Amino acid sequence: MSIPIKTSRYWPHVPHPPQAAFLSLPHKEAFYGGAAGGGKSDALLMAGLQFVEYPDYAAVIFRRTFPDLARPGGLIPRSMEWLGPSDATWNANDHQWTFPSGATLTFAHMQHEKDKYDHQGAEYQFVGFDELTHFTETQYRYMFSRLRRLKGSPVPVRARSASNPGGVGHEWVKDRFVTSDRVFIPAKLSDNPSLDGDEYRGSLAELDLHTRRQLLEGDWDARPPGDLFRRDWFTKIDAAPDCTNWVRFWDMAATEPSDANPDPDYTVGLRMGRTADGLYVVEDVKRDRKRPEGVRKLQRAAADRDGIGTRIRIEQEPGSAGKTVVDEIKRAFADRNVDGIRSTGKKWDRASVVSSKAEAGQIQIVQGGWNAAFLDELEAFTADDSHAHDDQVDALSGAYSHLSGRGPLQVRKGIW
């Protein structure tokens, strides 16, 4: 449900479609946001300015700390750009704009929980929260007690907020707006033509998978890194050191995406070496989703690249089908040291051993275009199987098992 937009002459641009939807809501409470760069701050500031021609109108917009309000791109500098040339008057001590009607727009913070009581006795017709996930639920709910208006006033009372996923308040904000029937207007970077989207996407691409999904996709279900791996445990190096042993370990899938299965598992071939002093190096990862003939071409190209000194090991699935696959690969690579390895025990237990090595700083990775996808998958790996893929994790576990001399991929009571 929406109503015609109540516009303001203080807006510097026409609202973009999600902003327009947000600004036309008649509801007392509404939430805007999701991805970074979706125009959240503009939408919130526009909402606060909608009724400033009424003398009995008072609006307040919060950030958790004052530096958040005052830094470049923050709400106070943004309001200066919008209102500085206008007939509104700025009071630096109170962080407040006053309009010719007598209406006010104030910027405030709640760095500490008790700061909410600084507004005890105040009366607002508009309360806004920028980056709501930075606030506690009690701070947010307390400000509803400050929302009131004179009887007969045409000014509505409104609570408006905006945020990306993440932050200390992620769960309560998600529960209150994203998974409930309260009004939530999602917006992404593509919804904001005022921003240089390509450049900003490039900046966000440097983030870890969890944070990138939150900020680029507005994904409220993106999970933080799992319990086993952290990307900062893996030192990146420019080239592999001299290694006494090399193995290319293959985790097989041989499945192409389809309408029935648009996100199948990957075939992964991970090349790992071990130095004389016991350091492990992941030198390369090949990863693709192909039919068997495509997989053979991928494996042949990797074998030609790696050289005859690199052993080839394949995780052998249970049963005769798994043995058949390994036998076919042995025949195709008769000139190489090839063997199948059967895995037993839980994936989590096998990966735990590699995790310990990584945490101790004993696994390095060579810089390459495969790094991001590799580290993303490792960080997303969880015990409850909620991760999308674990093929690279399995290949890493298999390669380490072979090079460390631990024998078959087997764990007994969590100890090799």
Alpha-carbon distance of 397 to 409, in angstroms, equals 8
Q: What total of structural domains would you count in the chain?
A: 2
Cα–Cα distance measured from residue 75 to residue 44, given in angstroms and rounded to the nearest whole number: 9
Residue 6 within a domain? no
Question: CA of 360: how far to CAs of 126, 272, 288, 354, 400, in Å?
Answer: 53, 17, 30, 10, 15
In this predicted model, what pLDDT tens digit does every residue of 57-102 receive, in sequence order? 999 999 999 999 999 989 999 999 999 999 999 999 999 999 999 9
Q: What is the pLDDT of residue 372?
A: 87
Question: 28 is written with which tokens?
Answer: 């007392």
Strand partners for 285: 270
Q: Is residue 12 part of a domain?
A: no
Burial of residue 128, with CB atoms counted within 10 A of its CB: 0-12 exposed, 13-18 middle, 19 or more buried: buried
pLDDT given at position 1: 47
pLDDT tens string, the chain, 416 residues long: the values are 445 789 999 999 999 989 999 999 999 999 998 766 668 899 999 999 999 999 989 999 999 999 999 999 899 999 999 999 999 999 999 999 999 999 999 999 999 999 999 999 999 999 999 999 999 999 999 999 999 998 889 999 999 999 988 888 988 999 999 989 999 998 876 666 666 556 766 766 766 666 777 777 778 877 666 668 888 899 999 999 999 999 999 998 777 888 888 788 899 999 999 999 999 999 999 999 888 889 899 999 999 999 999 999 998 877 777 788 888 888 888 889 999 988 777 888 888 889 989 989 999 999 999 998 899 889 888 876 656 688 999 999 999 999 998 654 443 333 22
Are residues 277 and 326 both part of a single domain?
Answer: yes
Q: Are residues 267 and 324 in the same domain?
A: yes
Closest CA to 221 of 267, 259, 175, 187: 175
**Tell me, what CATH number does 34's domain have?**
3.40.50.300
Is 46 domain-assigned? yes
In a domain, 322, yes or no: yes
CATH number at residue 291: 3.30.420.240
Closest C-alpha among 5, 36, 9 to residue 19: 5
What's the pLDDT score for residue 224?
A: 63
Residues 195 and 248 in one domain: no
Query: What phi and psi values does residue 76 have, to the nearest 5 degrees?
Result: -70, -50
In a domain, 9, yes or no: no
On whether both 334 and 264 belong to a single domain, the answer is yes
How far apart are alpha carbons 201 and 48 in whole angstroms? Answer: 29
Q: What is the pLDDT of residue 25?
A: 96
- Whether 127 and 262 map to the same domain: the answer is no
Whether residue 99 lies inside any domain: the answer is: yes
**What pLDDT is attached to residue 414?**
32
Q: Are residues 213 and 236 in the same domain?
A: no
Q: Quick check: is 39 in a domain?
A: yes
Task: Mark whether 235 and 186 lie in a shared domain.
Answer: no
Residue 322: per-residue pLDDT: 74
Check whether residue 173 and residue 136 sit in a common domain.
yes
CA quadruple 96, 97, 102, 108: dihedral, nearest 10 = -30
Q: Which amino acid is at 156?
A: P
The Cα–Cα gap between 44 and 344 comes to 55
The answer to whether position 413 is within a domain reads no
Same domain, 84 and 210: yes
DSSP collapsed to 3 states, the chain = CCCCCCCCCCCCCCCCHHHHHHHCCCCCEEEEEECCCCCHHHHHHHHHCCCCCCCCCEEEEEECCHHHHHCCCCHHHHHHHHHCCCCCEEECCCCEEECCCCCEEEEEECCCHHHHHHHCCCCECEEEEECHHHCCHHHHHHHHHHECCCCCCCCCCEEEEEECCCCCCHHHHHHHHHCCCCEEEEECHHHCCCCCHHHHHHHHCCCCHHHHHHHHHCCCCCCCCCCCCCHHHCEEECCCCCCCEEEEEEECCCCCCCCCCCCCCCEEEEEEEECCCCCEEEEEEEEECCCHHHHHHHHHHHHHHHCCCCEEEEEECCHHHHHHHHHHHHHHCCCCCEEEEEECCCHHHHHHHHHHHHHCCCEEEECCCCHHHHHHHHHHCCCCCCCCCCHHHHHHHHHHHHHHCCCCECCECCEC
Same domain, 237 and 209: no
pTM score: 0.59
Which tokens belong to 123? 């009366």
Note the pLDDT of residue 204. 64
Range of the domain at 115: 17-217
What is the per-residue pLDDT for 211? 76
C-alpha span between 150 and 55 (Å, rounded): 11
The answer on 382 and 335 residing in a single domain is yes
Residue after which a domain boundary falls, among 188, 217, 246: 217
CA neighbor of 352 nearest in space, from 397, 315, 408, 384: 397
Instruction: Please indicate, yes or no, whether residues 108 and 244 belong to a single structural domain of this protein.
Output: no
Distance CA 129, CA 400 (A): 49
**What are φ and ψ of residue 280, in 5° steps?**
-110, 140
